[in-house]
Amino acid sequence: MVVNSRYIALKICLTVIEQGRSLSQALAEGLAQFDDRRERAFAQNLVFGTLRWQERLEAIRSHLLKKPLKAKDEDVNQLILLGLYQILYMDTPEHAAVSETVNLTKSLKKPWARGLINGVLRSFLREKDAICAEVDKKPAYRFAHPQWFTKAMRKAYPEHWEQILAANNEPAPLTLRVNPRVQTREAFLASLADNEIDASAHPKAPFGVVLTQSQDVTHLPSYDDGGFSVQDAAAQQAGTLLAPQAGEHILDACAAPGGKTTHLLELSDDQANVFALEKEPERMERLSENLFRLDLHADLDVGDAAQPDDWWNGAAFDKILLDAPCSATGIIRRHPDIKWHRTPEDIDALVTTQAAILKALWPLLKPGGRLLYATCSVLPDENRNQMSAFLQATDDAREIPIEADWGLTIEGAPGRQILPGLDGMDGFYYCLIEKISSE
């Protein structure tokens, strides 16, 4: 089937921007229409790029077209952004970027937009440098992030905010986690080399392997034998920090799709007694499939971590992993749609949920037991402020400082923060706390 990659890219962007659907879902449906790998990759680049740079492209568009288009013509607006993205960021020759974009007005059945888009893109080619210089004066446009988030990063990380915003606009590496029950990292690297696949050991994650080129992992050696999983190096730190031991009773409170559950089990040679809880039944299905593929075993339950009365049998846990629901602002480079889908109000609601889950789970931990709080967020309210408040309000909780050669600590604040892009990792936060034993 011959499909127009620019048209499919436009449709995917519209699904995300207009309908508020997640990029992962929209991509999965949109890209399924391609037989040709190169066309598919081109469409994917176009979608990621246009969504990543949306805030900057919009600012440029509003310079060129003072009167905004009507809401019903958002497709024409997105088409202009797609054209601007190709001119600014892709190697497409400028004349092709303009003509191919203009031609799509036919597919949209909006022939009136042909002249308009042609005029806008050609004006941009003439005044590119001046317009970009003007737009880029504002950091939110220069780095293409929402105003509120740009402000929050400047405040939280006065020395790193530009680095964070820049890293959010870079493609993320494909990082794998070797399953030590099946093979060593060295053996896996050797088998990748035998298959002429470029890869290297991650410097900060003992089981991490970074592939130089993104690819379908189901075709890699040892996939069918459960030899590895896909997991960013930042997320791989959870298993090492919780250090699961055979026979320990461990709660993984927000578990699906099981990236960390499976790591806890691999590290204990499937001997830890893991209870994995998840609120969403469909996501629990994915956890089940992952356990099956890796031949690992855990007790599973669908339930709300903030309501232990509904699922807890009264046996206290040695360790708890709370990989809390969060804004996912640490993984914007993988999911650029987070920039549009998250609002400051969402963050307030998430902070309340995280606090409620923490409070509800604390009594389930044995004296002397440890709880690891984790988020893939870079917002202090979900991270260091959340844990400061919990530690202050909880007499029998104390922090175990994380000594590590990754991430950074903030003076006077609990936990360790990984900033996106640092050592190639996703943005993540960890805080390890212990229940003080009265004996």
The binding site for S-adenosyl-L-methionine consists of 254-260, 278, 304, 323
Q: In sequence order, what are the beta bridge partners of 278?
A: 302
Min separation Cβ 364 and ligand SAM, Å? 13
Q: In sequence order, what are the beta bridge partners of 418?
A: 428
Min separation Cβ 277 and ligand SAM, Å? 6
Min separation Cβ 161 and ligand SAM, Å? 24
For residues 189 and 199, the answer to whether their CB atoms sit within 8 Å is: yes
Q: Which is nearer to ligand SAM, 138 or 279 (CB)?
A: 279
Of 13, 326, 376, 431, which residue is the catalytic one? Answer: 376
Q: Annotate 51-95 with DSSP letters as a single string.
A: HHTHHHHHHHHHHH-SSPPPGGGHHHHHHHHHHHHHHHHS-S-HH
Burial of 297 (0-12, 13-18, 19+ CB in 10 A): middle
Q: Which is nearer to ligand SAM, 144 or 255 (CB)?
A: 255
Q: Please give the torsion angle defined by the CA atoms of residues 231, 236, 238 and 244, in that order, rounded to the nearest 10 degrees.
A: 100
Cα 12 to Cα 16, 30, 100, 160: the distances in Å are 6, 6, 17, 32
Alpha carbon distance 206, 386 (integer Å): 29
Q: Residue with the closest Cβ to ligand SAM?
A: 254
Q: Which is nearer to ligand SAM, 255 or 431 (CB)?
A: 255
Min separation Cβ 98 and ligand SAM, Å? 42
Q: Which is nearer to ligand SAM, 201 or 306 (CB)?
A: 306
- Is 376 among the catalytic positions? yes
Strand order, beta sheet including 174-178? 199-201, 208-211, 174-178, 228-230
Applying CB under 6 A, which residues contact ligand SAM? Answer: 235, 254-260, 277-280, 283, 304-306, 323, 325, 357
Vertex 171 angle, CA 25 and 29, to 5° = 15
Alpha carbon distance 18, 12 (integer Å): 10
Min separation Cβ 359 and ligand SAM, Å? 12
Q: So which residues are the catalytic ones?
A: 376
